[in-house]
Homo-oligomer: A and B are copies of this chain.
Amino acid sequence: MQGIPPLLKEAMRYSLLAGGKRLRPVLVLATVEALGGEETAALPFACAIEMIHTYSLIHDDLPSMDDDDYRRGKLTNHKVFSEAYAILAGDALLTEAFGLMAKGGKEAALAPEILLTIIEEGARFAGARGMVGGQVDDLLGENGAVSLEQLESIHRRKTGDLMAYSVRTGAYLGGASPEVLESLTRFAYDLGLAFQIQDDILDVIGDQQVIGKPVGSDEEKHKATYPALLGLEESKRKLTEITNRAKRHVEGYEELNPASLMGIADYLLQRDR
């Protein structure tokens, strides 16, 4: 086995280390913590999910997809390394993510049953039924009017599924009961929805310097957004409502200390980027 070709490594690191909120790894670790589990053993999974998220951003930004030049205030991967490298860097990040989970789980001597469930769900939530399916629906949606239901369905897959996967991974690692696993999943989907509504709001009223991409780009691209469908004020009201609903999902369980998870929900409500 040989090393990673230097330019490929650079392209992978460029996007992986481009900053961002690290929301998904934070969700993995916060969920483990909320259940009183061992956070160190969860680190490879937190990293792997960030790698999956990063690959999806690199591919989404490609000229044949969303055709974005900037992401997090930096040129997108293909603008720096070329389209071919961006595709391959994404492919490599996705592939290595699964390897990291198998390796990390083996080294941490996790129960194999749990580890295999996490890997299997990774493919389900990130794959054709999940995140990739959401990107397909999103592409199809660009060609016509999108209803609120369709918009939520797209976001549920495109953003929600990987957030749900993050929280579920933490739940498996932290030994959650089936009931709490289910509630944590609902929490994550609501969090993903709130996240997306806030994203759409920030695209209207945000500060370009802070959010790192041009403000108003959604409208320019005629993208379906919450402000476009509901108006700005109603979108803000919905954001608060969904955030509160998310927090209620994780309240009242003896096995779960929800402080950090609620903190994440509050942070997302207030974020300006």
Contacts and interface: CB of A to CB of B under 8 A. Distances in A.
Chain multiplicity (copies): 2
B95 A127 contact: yes
A118 to B, nearest CB: 8
B87 A5 contact: no
A162 to B, nearest CB: 12
A96 interface: yes
A128 to B, nearest CB: 4
Contacts of A120: 99, 102-103, 106
Contacts of A113: 106, 112
A100 interface: yes
A182 to B, nearest CB: 13
Given A129-B1, A129-B4, A96 B116 contact: no
Tell me what chain A mostly uses at the interface: helix, strand, loop, or mixed.
helix
Contacts of A183: none
A12 B127 CA distance: 12
A62 B62 CA distance: 13
Nearest to A84: B64
Contacts of A64: 82-84, 87
A115 interface: yes
A100 B133 CA distance: 17
A198 to B, nearest CB: 24
Contacts of A95: 94, 122-123, 126-128, 132
B2 A157 contact: yes
Interface of A: 1-5, 7-9, 12, 55, 59, 62, 64-65, 82-85, 87-88, 90-92, 94-100, 102-103, 105-106, 112-113, 115-117, 119-120, 122-130, 132-133, 135-137, 139-140, 153, 156-157, 161
Given A65-B87, A98-B123, A106-B117, 10 more contacts: A2-B153, A3-B129, A3-B133, A4-B129, A4-B133, A5-B137, A5-B140, A64-B87, A84-B139, A112-B113
